[in-house]
Amino acid sequence: MKNIIVIGSMSIDLVVSASKRPGKGETVLGDDFFTTPGGKGANQAVAASRLGEQVHMVGRIGEDDFGKEIYENLKNNNVIVSGVEPVTHLPSGTAHITLSEQDNSIIVVPSANYEVTPTFVQKHLESLSEGDIVLLQQEIPSETVEFVIDYCSKNGLVSILNPAPYREISDSIIEKVDYLTPNETESDAMFKGDLDDALSAYPMKLIVTLGENGAVYHNGHEKVQVDGFIRDVKDTTGAGDTFNGAFAVALQKEYNLEKALAFANLAASHSVTGMGAQSGMPTLEDIKGEWDV
């Protein structure tokens, strides 16, 4: 059985909803405020675990109340937390989220997440076996992402990089990674040109997510669009993370790419029906009417 390992960020999300997003120098009144576990890495680990797979989380938290909450939440979602270690000199990561006009804007303060260094992750990588699946995002240092992808390509591990939030990635990383899963905005920034050209340049590797329109890739002969699902949207935060966690589960189940993306689209569509990044993430039970589990 292949392992799924998420190497990445864990945060507490501080979420405010408002009918209007403030402009520069402006103050507006909000409608609601709540805090909830988030961070792209932790979200992806929880998404994969809810879908019934054994998932290991590797990352760092502060020795503070947020750190305790992050840790307990992972355990409550059956994520294996032996790779989660505290740092003493930094607080836990936080994300400051504004929900407005059916979408979100987020400022992430990585704090302890920037202590997910190559040295820290190396011991965890060394415990993995060929074929294990490693899921990464970009709320940890870029040198760690590069180190992990290089390690995976040299040791027969399957790597998935969700390049969110966007930052520049070297061509060699794009060559070495097995799957790259930007959304449309990240893909535009990364390939600075035509989506179709980018897809055909990286067949069976580049998967661009399109929200409720699903996801698209190139199979070596033609572009393939895998349809999404329309739901009543409460909160889109964490939909991309649910897609990535579910995609890792689908690879673990050895689905072909088209089926894997259909599974990931289905899980992501459920996630937007709950408030906060994780509350709408489905279990296998939740999707059983729509997927032959």
Catalytic residues: 241
Helix 257-271 × helix 239-252 angle, to 10°: 140
Task: Identify any residues that bridge with 260 across adjacent strands, giving them in sequence order.
Answer: none
Alpha-carbon span 239 to 235, nearest angstrom: 9
Cβ 106 vs Cβ 97: under 8 Å: yes
Bond preceding residue 165 cis, omega within 30 of 0: yes
Q: Which residue of 132, 186, 235, 241 would you call a contact of ligand RIB, by CB under 6 A?
A: 241
How many residues comprise the chain? 293
**Of the ranges 39-47, 81-89, 217-225, 251-259, which one interacts with ligand RIB (CB under 6 A)?**
39-47
Q: Show contacts with ligand RIB in window 44-73 (CB under 6 A).
A: none
Structure tokens at 208: 């661009």
Examine residue 40 and tell whether it contacts ligand RIB (CB under 6 A).
Answer: yes
**Residue of 21, 20, 16, 11 lying closest to 34 (CA atoms):** 16
Examine residue 43 and tell whether it contacts ligand RIB (CB under 6 A).
Answer: yes
**Which strands, in side-by-side order, build the sheet including 93-100?**
32-38, 11-17, 93-100, 103-109
Q: Which residue of 95, 136, 266, 272 would you call a contact of ligand RIB, by CB under 6 A?
A: 95
Q: Show contacts with ligand RIB in window 96-115 (CB under 6 A).
A: 106, 108
Q: Which residue of 3, 7, 13, 133 would you call a contact of ligand RIB, by CB under 6 A?
A: 13
For residue 179, the 8-state DSSP code is E
Q: Which residue of 5, 6, 39, 115 would you call a contact of ligand RIB, by CB under 6 A?
A: 39
| Angstrom distances, CA of residue 23 to CA of 26, 27, 89, 103, 143 | 5, 8, 34, 16, 34
Q: Indicate the residue among 13 and 132 with the shorter CB distance to ligand RIB.
A: 13
Least distance in Å: CB of 61 to ligand RIB? Answer: 13
**Of the ranges 82-90, 178-186, 200-208, 233-241, which one interacts with ligand RIB (CB under 6 A)?**
233-241
Residue nearest to ligand RIB (CB): 38
**x-marked contacts with ligand RIB along 138-167 as a string, rule CB under 6 A:** -x----------------------------
Structure tokens at 250: 């689908």
Q: Which amino acid is it at 28?
A: V
**Of the ranges 33-41, 82-90, 118-126, 180-188, which one interacts with ligand RIB (CB under 6 A)?**
33-41
Cβ 218 vs Cβ 199: under 8 Å: yes
Q: Which residue of 3, 7, 11, 218 would you call a contact of ligand RIB, by CB under 6 A?
A: 11
Q: Coil, strand or helix: which one is 77?
A: coil
Least distance in Å: CB of 223 to ligand RIB? Answer: 26
**Of the ranges 168-176, 186-194, 234-242, 261-269, which one interacts with ligand RIB (CB under 6 A)?**
234-242
**Residue of 70, 79, 240 lying closest to 166 (CA atoms):** 240
Least distance in Å: CB of 238 to ligand RIB? Answer: 5
Give the residues lining the site for ligand RIB (CB under 6 A). 11, 13, 38-40, 43, 95, 106, 108, 139, 237-238, 240-241, 277
